[in-house]
């Protein structure tokens, strides 16, 4: 074992530990701590054992009744488990080790660097979604865009990937100038091309206009290059107008009409990351409230603002999609940094507009393009979940909210997605704690520096195997080439039970219903196959039949 | 027809409820039974029909430059917003509809005018479709513990009770009559459900006229008789479904609740369901929230909370669970009552039955249940649903709450019910529509006086004839989820808002693809495939049976093998 871990584990093994988990029988067994896992083994066959990644632990609480210690382990996937450990010293040692091991600072000590796959990698996920391949698809539809290598050493924009798609007529020199005018160097790049009418969606960081209304001709030229002659575009600023105004004082700002006469700016109010983290904490608290009062539940649910955030994000995504598909206009989306609410909007708009994003592979590609490559700081945002005692710094459920919104659309269009809810839950879990390297780091640059493709396994390598795909496939799926417009009425937006009530109520009956549904569909397919083969055989018999009668 | 001041108005606009900018233009017709809006745009023949009996309120709003708005709220939660260009026309329509939607007399109700193309013999058979006695014999009654009592023939003892009632074997007529005199409206304890596996029973009644200290020996004997009809149990529950304060207040009026000291071996329990007035106001507030045109999430959730609606639904379900558990798990009999024993008592008894007995979760069983605990036991449908013009304080959505409790259970147990949401909504619609005779009047006696069975059609056989529309594709009678007691959760987060009913006509709010319809289509296809498979294999068999068997090629040989595998 690596020295760092050995020092942290004072008591590696305790016997006679009792484990309580939601919906499972209590188990007594031996608790073992390894560098990355908390393991409980009853040493009996056919008994469920606990293998919990330390990185999945959000916080722990300990209390003593005499010398019997109770440790409550609260996980990032919102599960809570209890351990009963006899012996105060053992209990304290275990608790302090868990605390230390679950809050390791160094990325290189994370489990993905130690994990060796126990499965055969059919397709290396690290090569599944290369930008150059995505660009080939684009090239087949339009020649108005080019792939620029201006950021190949991450110097222009540290949060962008080395390759980005930009208007063909805009050269790298221009891009360099634009980068200085946009927050974090995030100059406008292509996010989505709408094949139906050739309109595009771009995303960027806020323009650095400051209080004295600085302008950048190159920036104007860049985004104007995406407009058809005589056409106007829309700028969707994900901040409320007053928030955008205030940003000027800190050097940020928004596009002034005078400088961007061909663009109409619309402000929407999507919350910033620290507010979202508060919202998650309150929601989870409401879900775990033991009181049986309906009033209390509804008022806590309301006060958490979680559903409000879902509604706001979905509404903005619908707006962006509407501008593109209905108004036939191109769209530029940004907030402040362009790494959070911006990505929620651009990725959800694509789910709405592009049937390709509703397939399993297409959705992986979307997560790869619009979140990982686009520089959503996963490691910062997902460092802590709803139970953390430490004051949040950069943590925020931005990605979880995105998944929640996708789930809402999935609920409304249950036959239009190739994947099922389990896939979304899986992505939530792995974004917060994983044996795979996919969600490590905060940007493409960091991932390159960490040599993740060489040193870790990609989540996609694991997902894209037949047995996993089968579990994640929606049996109701029928490709739907249409744009799908979700309802954003409060009545239509539900609490995502699969995540937030997952550990509070048994899902047995709902799981059974799902199995029943699968059974109905499978049986139908089975019969279809039989009937078809019988038909073929009968047809053959009929052609052969006259021969039988020949004397 | 004399109430129709204006039979037809042209150039009327029907506004979309959510987005008023979207509107349809057409002609509005008033007939004796319906308001009909026919869209006049070229190429479309879009019609909206609204039964007058479903109209809950008609409001004429202040005139605007574009015309005079007329707002129609329906009992099935449809809201229609018309703009009529001329004020006078709007005025005439308003007055006509107000009169048409509030008949003063039973004979004006639609069920007496509704004449589908069915001959008299068939119509009479419709009323034989459900037989409550058959349900009691399904329960195993009569037996040595429970008997059918003739005491209420001709409604002599209680005019709001059915004529046929099951009572404990040991309850003599003097005991029953004595007990009935000590109960509001003479509604003495009678059997609602009997569990033949463990002899536990659910009985129902109205409140005792106990005041502060009154006693009634026969009533005490009646309860003892109920207890004795459950030989394995040494006590029984008496569940007062009212909040304790309400029950105490009733004592001052000479009514009240059972004193544990006077009755031997009872455990008394309040379950705190609010009265009809609270429920009416609560639903009104909840509907106002549903009607907001573009509410924020907070508007919606705060409004829903302050309406109290979900809290009331939870209270009804909690009470049903208490009783179901007492019967199934403790084997203890329960007497349930509220004040008169026809609102909360009906709700709670039927919720308990749905939880307890898989039969009541089937299409036919649920119809029987409503027939038993609601229609026959005298839930005052015509008052509660305002079938006629009358006291607005008598109106209350008690049946809505039952249907919603069942819907909440369906959400928790998707495979346990033979019927679907559409079935509940259809029942809801027709409880109010007055198209069928089932819910006309307030009790059995009134329906007999109205000769409902001779003059109207029955909803139950109509629903049964259309049962493919109302069947849940996930239901399997032998599924483990279908069996036994449903262990429902009543944690607040287990309750959902029933947009399918309360926002029924806001089509944009509902899922755009229905899993249920998809599965039903698949099941129909599966059925066809099964038939094809049978016929193909028979044809194959025909080939195989031909006499030239020695000449059969290997191929045909393999085919017969396939057939063997199939069968």
Range(s) of chain B covered by CATH 2.30.29.30: 8-102
Tell me the chain A residues in contact with residue B539 when contact means C-beta distances shorter than 8 Å.
Answer: 538
The string of pLDDT tens digits covering residues A215-228 is 999 999 999 999 98
Q: If you count residue pairs, one on A and one on B, with CB atoms under 8 Å apart, how many are there?
A: 174
The answer to whether the CB atoms of B497 and A491 lie below 8 A apart is yes
The answer to whether the CB atoms of A534 and B562 lie below 8 A apart is yes
**Closest of A328, A164, A318, A350 to residue A236, by C-alpha:** A318
Rounded-to-integer distance, Cα A540 and Cα B182, Å? 83
The string of pLDDT tens digits covering residues A131-171 is 888 899 999 999 999 999 999 999 999 999 999 999 999 99
Rounded-to-integer distance, Cα B118 and Cα B116, Å? 6
Kindly state the percentage of chain A with pLDDT values over 70.
97
Max CA distance (Å), chain A: 103
Burial code of B449-468, b = ≥16 C-beta within 10 A, e = fewer? Answer: ebebbeebbbbbbbbbeeee
The answer to whether the CB atoms of A293 and B492 lie below 8 A apart is yes
Rounded-to-integer distance, Cα A348 and Cα A238, Å? 14
Q: How confident is the model at residue B557 (pLDDT cuts 50, 70, 90)?
A: very low
Average pLDDT, chain A: 94
Task: Name the active-site residue from B203, B216, B338, B385.
Answer: B338
> Which of A85-89, A243-247, B167-171 is the least confident region?
A85-89
Q: How confident is the model at residue B542 (pLDDT cuts 50, 70, 90)?
A: low
CB distance A420 to A472 below 8 Å: yes
Axis-axis angle for helices A294-304, A306-325 (nearest 10): 50
pLDDT of the residue at B1:
59
How many beta carbons lie within 10 A of that of residue B489, not counting itself? 17
Does the annotation place B341 within a ligand binding site?
Answer: yes
Which residue from B499, B522, B536 is facing A524, i.e. has the nearest CB? B522
pLDDT of the residue at A24:
87
The string of pLDDT tens digits covering residues A523-537 is 999 999 999 998 888
Tell me the chain A residues in contact with residue B538 when contact means C-beta distances shorter than 8 Å.
Answer: none
Rounded-to-integer distance, Cα B343 and Cα B511, Å? 33
The string of pLDDT tens digits covering residues A427-458 is 999 999 999 999 999 999 999 999 999 999 99
> Which of A10-14, A541-545, B333-337 is the least confident region?
A541-545
Rounded-to-integer distance, Cα B213 and Cα B262, Å? 10
Rounded-to-integer distance, Cα A138 and Cα A194, Å? 10
pLDDT of the residue at B301:
98
Best mutation target among A287, A476, A518, A534 (most B Cβ atoms within 10 Å) is A534
Does the annotation place B349 within a ligand binding site?
Answer: no
Best mutation target among B274, B513, B540 (most A Cβ atoms within 10 Å) is B513
Q: How confident is the model at residue A13 (pLDDT cuts 50, 70, 90)?
A: very high
Once rounded to an integer, what is the mean pLDDT over residues A365-391?
Answer: 95
Does the annotation place B275 within a ligand binding site?
Answer: yes
Please tell me whether the peptide bond between B142 and the residue prior to it is cis, using omega within 30 degrees of 0. yes
Which residue from B476, B533, B539 is facing A530, i.e. has the nearest CB? B533
Does the annotation place B215 within a ligand binding site?
Answer: no
User: Does the active-site annotation cover B338?
Assistant: yes
Q: Which helix (H) or strand (E) holds A31?
A: strand A24-33
Does the annotation place B250 within a ligand binding site?
Answer: no
Does the annotation place B344 within a ligand binding site?
Answer: yes
Tell me the chain A residues in contact with residue B476 when contact means C-beta distances shorter than 8 Å.
Answer: 516
Sheet of B34-39: strand order equals: B47-51, B34-39, B23-30, B8-15, B79-84, B68-74, B55-60
Rounded-to-integer distance, Cα B233 and Cα B333, Å? 8
Distance from CA of B344 to the nearest CA of A (A): 19
Once rounded to an integer, what is the mean pLDDT over residues A27-33?
Answer: 93
The answer to whether the CB atoms of B555 and A540 lie below 8 A apart is yes
**Closest of A24, A28, A29, A78 to residue A400, by C-alpha:** A78
Q: Which three-class secondary structure state does DSSP give residue A14?
A: strand
Rounded-to-integer distance, Cα B28 and Cα B20, Å? 18
Class of domain A1-104: mainly beta
**Closest of B27, B417, B357, B347 to residue B195, by C-alpha:** B357
Distance from CA of B476 to the nearest CA of A (A): 9
pLDDT at B552 over 50: no
How many beta carbons lie within 10 A of that of residue B74, not counting itself? 22
Q: How confident is the model at residue B538 (pLDDT cuts 50, 70, 90)?
A: confident
> What DSSP state is assigned to residue B372?
I
**Closest of A69, A57, A25 to residue A44, by C-alpha:** A25
- Tokens standing for B555? 């191929």
Rounded-to-integer distance, Cα A286 and Cα A371, Å? 29
Best mutation target among A301, A509, A519 (most B Cβ atoms within 10 Å) is A509
The answer to whether the CB atoms of A490 and B536 lie below 8 A apart is no
The answer to whether the CB atoms of A537 and B414 lie below 8 A apart is no
**Closest of B320, B446, B337 to residue B383, by C-alpha:** B446
ipTM: 0.94
Tell me the chain A residues in contact with residue B298 when contact means C-beta distances shorter than 8 Å.
Answer: 302, 305, 308
The pTM assigned to this predicted structure is: 0.94
Distance from CA of A493 to the nearest CA of B (A): 9
Distance from CA of B289 to the nearest CA of A (A): 10
Q: Which helix (H) or strand (E) holds A337?
A: none
Q: How confident is the model at residue A2 (pLDDT cuts 50, 70, 90)?
A: low
Once rounded to an integer, what is the mean pLDDT over residues A69-77?
Answer: 97
The answer to whether the CB atoms of B526 and A523 lie below 8 A apart is yes
**B8-102: CATH topology:** PH-domain like (2.30.29)
Closest residue on chain B to A529 (Cα): B529
> Count of H helices and E strands in chain A?
20, 14
Distance from CA of B491 to the nearest CA of A (A): 6
- Tokens standing for B331? 């084997």
Q: Which helix (H) or strand (E) holds B200?
A: none
Once rounded to an integer, what is the mean pLDDT over residues A34-43?
Answer: 91
The answer to whether the CB atoms of A504 and B491 lie below 8 A apart is yes
Kindly state the percentage of chain B with pLDDT values over 70.
95
């Amino acid at each position: 074992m690596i020295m760092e871990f050995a020092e942290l584990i004072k008591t590696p093994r305790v016997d006679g530990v009792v484990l309580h988990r939601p919906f499972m029988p209590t188990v007594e067994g031996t608790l073992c701590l390894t560098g990355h896992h908390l393991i409980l083994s009853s040493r009996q066959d056919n008994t469920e054992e606990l293998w919990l990644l330390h990185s999945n632990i959000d916080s722990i609480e300990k209390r003593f009744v005499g010398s019997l210690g109770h440790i409550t382990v609260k996980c990032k996937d919102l599960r809570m488990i209890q351990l009963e450990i006899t012996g105060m010293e053992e209990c304290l040692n275990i608790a302090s080790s868990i605390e230390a091991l679950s809050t390791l600072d160094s990325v290189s000590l994370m489990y993905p660097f130690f994990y060796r796959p126990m499965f055969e990698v059919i397709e290396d996920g690290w090569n599944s979604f290369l930008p150059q391949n995505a660009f080939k698809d684009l090239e087949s539809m339009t020649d108005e865009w080019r792939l620029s290598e201006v950021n190949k050493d991450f110097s222009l924009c540290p949060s962008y990937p080395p390759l980005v798609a930009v208007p063909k007529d805009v050269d790298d020199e221009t891009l360099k100038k634009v980068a200085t005018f946009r927050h974090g160097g995030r100059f406008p790049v292509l996010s989505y091309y709408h094949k139906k009418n050739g309109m595009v969606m771009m995303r960027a960081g806020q323009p650095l206009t400051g209080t004295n209304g600085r302008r950048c001709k190159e920036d104007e030229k860049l985004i104007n290059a995406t407009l058809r002659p005589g056409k106007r575009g829309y700028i969707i600023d994900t901040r409320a107008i007053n928030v955008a105004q205030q940003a000027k004082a800190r050097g940020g700002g928004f596009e002034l009409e005078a400088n961007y006469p061909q663009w109409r700016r619309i402000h929407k109010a999507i919350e910033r990351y620290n507010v979202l983290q508060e919202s998650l904490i309150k929601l989870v608290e409401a879900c775990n409230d033991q009181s049986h009062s309906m009033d209390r539940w509804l008022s806590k649910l309301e006060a958490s603002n979680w559903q409000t955030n879902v509604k706001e994000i979905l509404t903005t995504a619908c707006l962006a999609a509407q501008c593109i598909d209905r108004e036939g206009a191109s769209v530029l989306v940004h907030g402040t940094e362009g790494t959070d609410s911006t990505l929620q909007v651009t990725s959800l708009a694509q789910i709405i507009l592009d049937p390709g994003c509703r397939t399993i592979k297409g959705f992986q590609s979307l997560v790869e393009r619009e979140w990982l490559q686009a520089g959503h700081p996963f490691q910062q945002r997902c460092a802590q979940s709803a139970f953390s005692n430490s004051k949040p710094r950069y943590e925020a459920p931005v990605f979880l909210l995105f998944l929640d919104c996708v789930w809402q659309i999935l609920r409304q269009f249950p036959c239009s997605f190739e994947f099922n809810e389990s896939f979304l839950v899986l992505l939530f879990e792995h974004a917060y704690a994983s044996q795979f390297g996919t969600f490590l780091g905060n940007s493409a640059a960091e991932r390159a520096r960490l040599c993740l493709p060489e040193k870790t396994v990609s989540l996609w390598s694991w997902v894209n195997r037949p047995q996993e795909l089968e579990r994640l496939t929606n049996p109701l799926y029928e490709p739907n080439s249409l744009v799908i417009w979700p309802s954003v009425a409060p009545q239509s937006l539900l609490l995502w039970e699969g995540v937030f009530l997952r550990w509070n109520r048994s899902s047995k009956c709902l799981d059974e219903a799902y199995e029943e549904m699968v059974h109905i569909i499978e049986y139908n397919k089975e019969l279809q196959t039989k009937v078809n083969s019988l038909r073929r055989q009968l047809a053959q018999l009929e052609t052969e039949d006259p021969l039988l009668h020949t004397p | 027809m004399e109430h129709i001041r204006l039979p037809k108005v042209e150039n009327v606009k029907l506004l979309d409820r959510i987005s008023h900018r979207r509107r349809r233009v057409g002609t509005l017709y008033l007939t004796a039974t319906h308001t009909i809006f026919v869209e006049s745009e070229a190429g479309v023949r879009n019609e909206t029909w609204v039964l007058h009996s479903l109209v809950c309120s008609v409001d004429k709003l202040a005139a605007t430059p574009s015309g005079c708005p007329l707002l129609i709220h329906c009992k099935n939660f449809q809201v229609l917003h018309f703009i009529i260009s001329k004020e006078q026309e709007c005025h005439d329509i308003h007055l006509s509809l107000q009169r048409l939607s509030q008949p003063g007399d039973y004979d004006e109700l639609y069920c007496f005018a509704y004449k589908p193309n069915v001959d008299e013999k068939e119509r009479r058979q419709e009323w034989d479709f459900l037989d409550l006695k058959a349900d009691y014999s399904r329960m195993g009654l009569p037996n040595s513990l429970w008997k059918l009592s003739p005491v209420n023939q001709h409604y002599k003892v209680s005019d709001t009770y059915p004529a046929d009632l099951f009572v404990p074997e040991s309850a003599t007529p003097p005991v029953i009559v004595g007990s009935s005199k000590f109960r509001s409206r003479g509604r003495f304890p009678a059997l609602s459900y009997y569990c033949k596996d463990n002899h536990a029973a659910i009985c129902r009644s109205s409140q005792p006229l106990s005041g502060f200290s009154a006693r009634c020996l026969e009533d005490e004997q009646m309860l003892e008789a109920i207890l004795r009809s459950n030989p394995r149990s040494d006590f029984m529950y008496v569940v007062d479904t009212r909040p304790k304060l309400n029950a105490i207040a009733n004592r001052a009026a000479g009514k009240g609740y059972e004193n544990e000291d006077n009755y031997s071996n009872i455990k008394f329990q309040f379950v705190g369901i609010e009265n009809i007035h609270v429920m009416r106001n609560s639903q009104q507030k909840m509907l106002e929230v549903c009607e907001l045109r573009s509410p924020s999430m907070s508007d919606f959730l705060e409004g829903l909370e302050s309406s109290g609606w979900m809290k009331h639904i939870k209270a009804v379900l909690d009470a049903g669970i208490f009783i179901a558990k007492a019967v199934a798990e403790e084997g203890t009999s329960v007497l349930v009552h509220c004040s008169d024993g026809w609102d909360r008592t009906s709700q709670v008894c039927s919720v308990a039955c749905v939880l307890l007995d898989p039969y009541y979760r089937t299409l036919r069983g649920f119809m029987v249940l409503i027939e038993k605990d609601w229609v026959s036991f005298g839930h005052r449908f015509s008052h509660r649903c305002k079938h006629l013009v009358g006291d607005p304080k008598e109106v209350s959505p008690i049946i809505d709450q039952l249907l919603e409790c069942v819907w909440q259970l369906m959400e928790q147990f998707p495979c346990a019910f033979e019927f679907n949401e559409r079935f509940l909504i259809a029942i809801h619609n027709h409880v109010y529509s007055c198209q069928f005779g089932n819910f006309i009047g307030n009790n059995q006696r009134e329906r007999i006086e109205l000769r409902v069975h001779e003059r109207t059609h029955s909803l139950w056989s109509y629903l049964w004839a259309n049962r493919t529309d109302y069947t849940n594709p996930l239901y399997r009678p032998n599924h483990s989820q279908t069996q036994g007691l449903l262990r429902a959760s009543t944690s607040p987060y287990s309750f959902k808002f029933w947009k399918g009913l309360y926002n029924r006509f806001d089509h944009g709010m509902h899922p755009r693809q229905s899993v249920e319809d998809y599965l039903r289509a698949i099941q129909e296809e599966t059925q066809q495939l099964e038939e094809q498979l049978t016929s193909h294999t028979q044809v194959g068999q025909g080939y195989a049976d031909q006499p030239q068997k020695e000449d059969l090629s290997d191929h045909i040989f393999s085919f017969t093998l396939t057939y063997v595998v199939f069968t």
